[in-house]
Structure 1
Amino acid sequence: MASFKALHEHFTFLLLEVQAQVQATQDFLLRPTRVLKKQLALRCDKTANMQAVIETMCYSELNSAQALPQSQINKLRALQKMAIHLHYISEFCINISKQTQYLSKESRLDPDDFMPFFADITQAINLVKPSLDEGDLSKALRICRAEYTLDEKYRHVFSRLTREINAGTEASGHVTAIFIYRYLERIGDSLQRIGEALIFITVGNILKVSQFDSLQQTLTQSGFTGSMHDVDYKAILGSRSGCSVGVVETVAPFHEPARQGSIYKEGSLEKIRQEKDNIERWQHVFPSLVPAIYGYHESSDNAALLIELLQGCTLDEVILQGEQFLVDSALTVLQNTLRNVWDATKTQSPVNTNYIQQLTSRLSPVLQVHPASLRDSLSVGSVTTHSTEELLNQCSHLEKTLSAPFSVLIHGDLNMNNIVYNQQLQTVRFIDLYRSREFDYLQDVSVFLVSIFRIPVFEPQIRDRLNRTTDQFYSFARKVASDYNDATFEARLAFALARSFYTSTRFELNSSFAKRMYLRAHFLMEKLLEHSGGWATFTLPEDILLY
C-alpha cells in the first residue's frame, strides 16, 4: 500500500504541474514573453520525466510477485494512461507557444476566442483529482464531455477564420491561428481519454464515453433506476463482429429479486437495428429460441441493445469439453430444433442463392491475412488450372443456373459459438441473429459444418470427435434434403461450402491450416465447373468435410 500512496502522490504532482502549464500557456497568449516561453519548455521536460516515473512505478507494481486484486490492477492501468495524456496536454501547450512566433502583432489571437477554450480545459483538469479520489462517475463524464465543447468551439473559430482567409484577410496569420486552436482542440481528445480511464477504474472495463452513455441510456430504457455504481460490466473479448459486447449485471434493491445478467451490444446503427428486428421476428415465430430484449437505444450513428444472457454452454464448448453422451444429446436437440424451424417456415417457391457473391464480398479481408490464397492460372502442357479470379467469375455465373427449390427462416451465421445448449432443459437457443433472413437452409448447414472443421485443435482424439460430429450433422442434412425432395442439395452445398471454407480463413493465422481450407474451396469450385449434366447428378465428395 505504501507504493500505491507514493504513486498517487507522483500523479498528483504531475496533475498540478499540468494545471500550472495550462495557466502559463493562457498567460503567454495574453502577454507573450521570452521568459514565459522558456518556462513552458522547462515544464514540458518536467512532465515528461514525471510521466516516465509513473509509468515505471505502474509496470513495477503490475509485475511484482505479490498478487494484486483486480481493482488495483485497473487503477494502475488507468493511472498509467492518464499520465500519458497529461503529458500530451503539456506537449500541446509547448506547441502552442512555438506557433506564436509566426504571428504578427496585427494577427495576435483574440482573447474572446481563446479564453473560453482555456476555461473548459481548466475546469476539466480540476475535476480529475476529485473524480479519482471519490470514484465519482459524474465528474469523469464531465471531463469526457469537455472534448465535445472544445470541438464545438474549434468548429466555430475554424469556420470564421476560413471565411476570412477566403476573403483575403490576414491569410498567413489566420493559418497559424488555426494551428493553435487545433492544439487546444486536441487537448480535449486527451481529456476524454483521461475521463474514460477514470470510468474504467469504477466500471472495471474499458469503455469510450459514447459507449458508457449508450449503456446508461439503454439500461434506463430497460427499467433500471439505480446508479451506474450498481452496474458490473465485463467486456467479452475476442468478438469479431465489430460491436462492443459485454455482460452486464445489476445490483437489485434489497426488496427486489436479482435480475439475471444481460448482454450489452453496441455498434453501428444499421447492424444493431437489424439484429433487434431479427430477434423480434424470431420471437414472433419461435419465442423460446432467442433471447428476450430488455432495452434498445439509438443515437445518430450507433445503437445499443440489451438482451437476455442465455443460460448454458455454447456448442463448441460442449464438443471440446463435454462427455460424448453430452455432445450427442446437444446435437440431437439442435437437429430437432432446426427441423422444426425449417418445417414451420418453409416456403415452397424457388430462391436464388448468392454464395459466390458472398465469398467475393469478403475476399479483401481474406487476402489481407492470406495473400497466397489468391492463385494465378497455370498451364502444364495441355492442362490448365484456373486462377482464383477466373474460378470466382465462372462459378458466379454458374450459380445463377441453380436455385434453391424453397426457402426457410435461417439463422444466417450458424457457427457453433452462436448456439447455446442448456443440458438441464434440453434446449438450444440462438444468438447473434444479425444475418437472419428467408433463404436457402444450406447456408446454415455449410456454416455449421465449416465451424466444426475450422476449430484449430489437432489432437487425434478431439479431431475424431469433431469428425464424428460432422458426419452426424451431414447425415441429418441429407435426410432433410431427402424428405424435402431437394434434388440439388449436393450441388448447392458445394457452392455454400466453397464460400464458408474460403471466408473462414480470414480468422485463422495458422497458414498451413488456412491453406487446407482455401484449397478445399478451390477444389469445390473446380469440381462444380467440371460437372456436366443436370445438377441433380452432382456428387459432393464427403471426405472434404473431414480433417
Structure 2
Amino acid sequence: MKAIIGNFKLLAIETENQIKLTHGLLSDFNIDVLEKITAQDDYIDNLKTIVENACFSDIYNMKRSPDMAPLNRIRALHIICVNLERIADFCVNIARQTQYLTSKDFIQKYDYQSMFLEIQQSVSRITRVFDHGNLSQALEICRAEFKLDDLWEHTFNILLRDLKKGDEVTNLVTTIFIFRYLERIGDSILNIGEALIFAIMGDRIKIRQVEALEKTLTESGFKGTLGDIDFASIWGSRSGCRISKVSRKKPSGFQAQGIFKEGKILKIQKERANINQWEKICPGVAPKVFGYYEKYRTASLLVEFLSGCTLDQVFLSESSAVMENAMFVFEQTLTDIWHKTLVSEPCPTDYMFQLMQRFPAICRVHPDFLIFHGPREGSHKTIEDRDLIQACHKIEKGLPAPFSIFIHGDFNTNNIVYNHEDQKIHYIDLYRSRQGDYVQDAAVFLVSNFRVPVFDVELRARLNKVSHHFYNVFHHFAFEQGDLTFNARLSLALARSFLTSTRFELNKEFSGVMCQNARILMERVMAHHGKPWENFPFPGEILHYDNESWRHE
C-alpha cells in the first residue's frame, strides 16, 4: 500500500506539472514546452499502469475481512489515478491544438486563465485530502466541475457569437476545442472528488447525493457532520433511486438508524405522500419520515430503518416455526388492510397494458421469446406473443375488478419486513401505492416468491408451500367478497408478472419456464372467453416451479 500511495503521489505531482506547462504554453507558445508536455505523457502513462497493476494485485491478494476500509482506499486510488492520467492526456490534446492557431495572441481574448486556476487549485489538493480524509475539501474538489462548466458555457457562448461573424474561423474552432478539453478536465476532477468521498465514507456516492444527504439529515434534526455517520448502499434496487442505510458512529443528536433515498423529484414526492397515507390507514405499517429535501429535479427522503427480515429472507433462511409465524402475522395484517380500505366500486385493470409497455425490454433480454413455437390451446396454429397480449387486452376490458383496495403497488416479498420480536409486518418502497385491484398485489407477491433463483429441493418446497398457502388466502378473500372473476384476473396479472420478471433473469431454463407460464395463462383466458368467468379453471400448479406434470396432461 505504501508503494501504491507513493506512485499515486508522483502521478499527482506530474499531472499538476502538466497542467502548469500547458497553461504556460498558451501564454508564450514555446515549442520546447510543447515537446516537454508530449514527452512527459509516456512517463505519466507508465505511472498510472504501475499503480493500476499494484492495485489489482493487492485486491487479489487481500484476505477477506469485515473491515472494507483498505479495499475501499485501493479502489478509490485506482479511480483517482485513472482520472489523473486522463487529465494529463487532455493537457497533451490542448498542447497539440495550439499548432493550429495562426497567432499566439488570438486565444488571449478569451478567459482560459480562470479555468486553469480552478483546475490547478483542485488538483493540488488531491493528495492532501486523501491523506487527511477531509470530506469538506473532497466536496470542494467535486464542486470545481460545476464552476468549470459555468466558465465553459460562458466562453462557448462568446465563441459562438464571434464565429457567426465569419472571421478567424480556424482560430475560433481551435479555441473551442481547447476550452472543450478544459471542460472535460472538470469531469475527471469530479470523478476524483467522488473517489475521495468513497475513500472517506466507504461507499460510492455522487456529490449531489452527498449534498442531499446533508440537507435531509439536517431536516431530520441531525446536529453532527457527515463524518459522524456510517453510510452503506443497499444493493439490488432496480428503482433508479439511490438507497442507502445511514446510522450514527457516535452520539450526535441523530435519533435512529435510517434509510436514505434519493431520486427523481416526482417519485420521491409520491413515496412521501404514500407513506403518510399508509400511516393514516394502518399506523406503524410504513416507516416514519425523518427528513425530506428537494433540489431542482431531484429529492431525497430519510425514513426509519425497520428492524427485522424481509419475507424472502424469512422463507429461505429462518426456521419452520418462524416462517409459519411470519406467514400468520402477514396474513392477518394483509387481510385487515384489505377489509379496511375496500371501496365498493368497480375498478378497471390494465395488466396487459403494463405488459405491452415492458415488452420491448423483455425482448431485448430474451429476443427468442418473441414467438411461441407451439400450438395454442385448442388449436394447431402458432401465435405471436404480441397478438396474444393484444387479444387478452381486449378481453381484460370486460373484466374490471368489482371493488378496489389501497394496494402496495410493488408487493414483492423483499418489500415486506417481518419483525419477529414485535410480531409486526411493515411495508417498504411505497412509491406505487394507490387505490386499485388487490389482484395486482396478489400476483406480484406470488411471482416474486416463484422467481427466486433457488433450486434446492427443500428450499423450493418451502417456497411452493408459501405460494399454495397465500393463493388460498387470496382466493378465500375473493370468495368472501363475491368476486367471481378473481381467477381470470389473477391469470392475467400473473402472466404480466411472470413475463416482466424475465427481464431480470438470464438463466434461460428458468426464464423460459416463467415465459411459458405466462403464455399458458393467457391462452387459458382466451380459450375461456365467452364462458362464465366464475367457472374459469385456474391451474394452481403453475405457482410451483418443480411440478410440471400438469403441463403434459
Q: What TM bracket, shorter-length normalisation? A: over 0.9
Which residue in 2 is equivalent to 1:493?
490
Question: What is the Cα deviation at residue 429 of structure 1?
Answer: 0.5
- What pairs up with 1:135-534 in 2 under 5 angstroms? 135-253=133-251, 259-375=255-371, 383-531=380-528, 532-534=530-532
Q: Which amino acid aligns with 2:522?
A: M
Aligned counterparts of 2:119 and 2:343: Cα–Cα separation in 1: 62
Aligned counterparts of 2:95 and 2:211: Cα–Cα separation in 1: 35
Question: What is the Cα deviation at residue 92 of structure 1?
Answer: 0.1
Which residue in 2 is equivalent to 1:134?
132
Which residue in 1 is equivalent to 2:83?
85
Provide closer, same or farther for how the CA distance between residues 24 and 544 of structure 1 changes in structure 2, counting only shifts above 3 A.
same
Which residue in 2 is equivalent to 1:42?
39
Aligned counterparts of 2:358 and 2:403: Cα–Cα separation in 1: 26
Q: Which amino acid aligns with 2:269?
A: R
Which residue in 1 is equivalent to 2:550?
none
Aligned counterparts of 1:372 and 1:193: Cα–Cα separation in 2: 39
* 1:72 paired residue among 59, 70, 73: 70
Contact 2:28 2:104 in 1 (8 A): no
CA deviation digits over 1:437-459, x for unaligned, max 9? 00000000001111111111111
Question: What is the Cα deviation at residue 538 of structure 1?
Answer: 1.6
Q: Which amino acid aligns with 1:533?
A: K
Question: What is the Cα deviation at residue 290 of structure 1?
Answer: 0.4
Contact 1:107 1:170 in 2 (8 A): no
Question: What is the Cα deviation at residue 521 of structure 1?
Answer: 0.7
Aligned counterparts of 2:459 and 2:379: Cα–Cα separation in 1: 43
Contact 1:203 1:232 in 2 (8 A): yes
Which residue in 1 is equivalent to 2:49?
52
What SS does structure 2 have at the residue aligned with 1:297? Answer: strand
Provide closer, same or farther for how the CA distance between residues 196 and 369 of structure 1 changes in structure 2, counting only shifts above 3 A.
same
What SS does structure 2 have at the residue aligned with 1:350? Answer: coil
* 2:107 paired residue among 109, 133, 139: 109
Contact 1:107 1:174 in 2 (8 A): no
Contact 1:30 1:111 in 2 (8 A): no
Deviation larger for 157-166 or 66-75:
66-75
Aligned counterparts of 1:466 and 1:378: Cα–Cα separation in 2: 29
Give the alignment's TM-score, normalised by structure 1: 0.96
What SS does structure 2 have at the residue aligned with 1:351? Answer: coil
Provide closer, same or farther for how the CA distance between residues 438 and 53 of structure 1 changes in structure 2, counting only shifts above 3 A.
same
Aligned counterparts of 1:356 and 1:6: Cα–Cα separation in 2: 60
CA deviation digits over 1:462-504, x for unaligned, max 9? 1111111111101111110111111111111111111111111
Aligned counterparts of 2:379 and 2:347: Cα–Cα separation in 1: 39
Question: What is the Cα deviation at residue 536 of structure 1?
Answer: 2.3
Aligned counterparts of 1:280 and 1:386: Cα–Cα separation in 2: 46
Q: Which amino acid aligns with 1:189?
A: D
Provide closer, same or farther for how the CA distance between residues 272 and 101 of structure 1 changes in structure 2, counting only shifts above 3 A.
same
Aligned counterparts of 1:156 and 1:6: Cα–Cα separation in 2: 42
Q: Which amino acid aligns with 2:369?
A: S
Provide closer, same or farther for how the CA distance between residues 382 and 311 of structure 1 changes in structure 2, counting only shifts above 3 A.
closer
Which residue in 2 is equivalent to 1:100?
98
What SS does structure 2 have at the residue aligned with 1:267? Answer: strand
Aligned residues: 542
Contact 2:418 2:425 in 1 (8 A): yes
Aligned counterparts of 2:345 and 2:62: Cα–Cα separation in 1: 67
Q: Which amino acid aligns with 2:148?
A: L
- What pairs up with 1:115-126 in 2 under 5 angstroms? 115-126=113-124
Aligned counterparts of 1:66 and 1:266: Cα–Cα separation in 2: 33
Aligned counterparts of 2:213 and 2:4: Cα–Cα separation in 1: 32
Contact 2:345 2:404 in 1 (8 A): yes
What SS does structure 1 have at the residue aligned with 2:32? Answer: helix
Aligned counterparts of 1:106 and 1:60: Cα–Cα separation in 2: 47
Aligned counterparts of 1:305 and 1:353: Cα–Cα separation in 2: 31
Aligned counterparts of 1:186 and 1:228: Cα–Cα separation in 2: 29
The unaligned stretches of length 5 or more in structure 2 are: 546-553
Aligned counterparts of 1:472 and 1:382: Cα–Cα separation in 2: 34
Q: Which amino acid aligns with 2:502?
A: T
CA deviation digits over 1:112-137, x for unaligned, max 9? 51111101001111211221121111
Question: What is the Cα deviation at residue 428 of structure 1?
Answer: 0.7
Question: What is the Cα deviation at residue 107 of structure 1?
Answer: 7.4
Aligned counterparts of 1:145 and 1:238: Cα–Cα separation in 2: 29
Contact 1:314 1:417 in 2 (8 A): yes
CA deviation digits over 1:197-242, x for unaligned, max 9? 1111110001111111111111111111101111110111222111
CA deviation digits over 1:253-301, x for unaligned, max 9? 37x6x73311111111121111111111111221210000111111112
Give the alignment's TM-score, normalised by structure 2: 0.95
Question: What is the Cα deviation at residue 422 of structure 1?
Answer: 0.8
What SS does structure 1 have at the residue aligned with 2:244? Answer: strand
Give the alignment's Cα RMSD to 1 decimal.
1.7
What SS does structure 2 have at the residue aligned with 1:242? Answer: coil
Deviation larger for 408-417 or 172-181:
172-181
Q: Which amino acid aligns with 1:399?
A: E
Which residue in 2 is equivalent to 1:24?
21
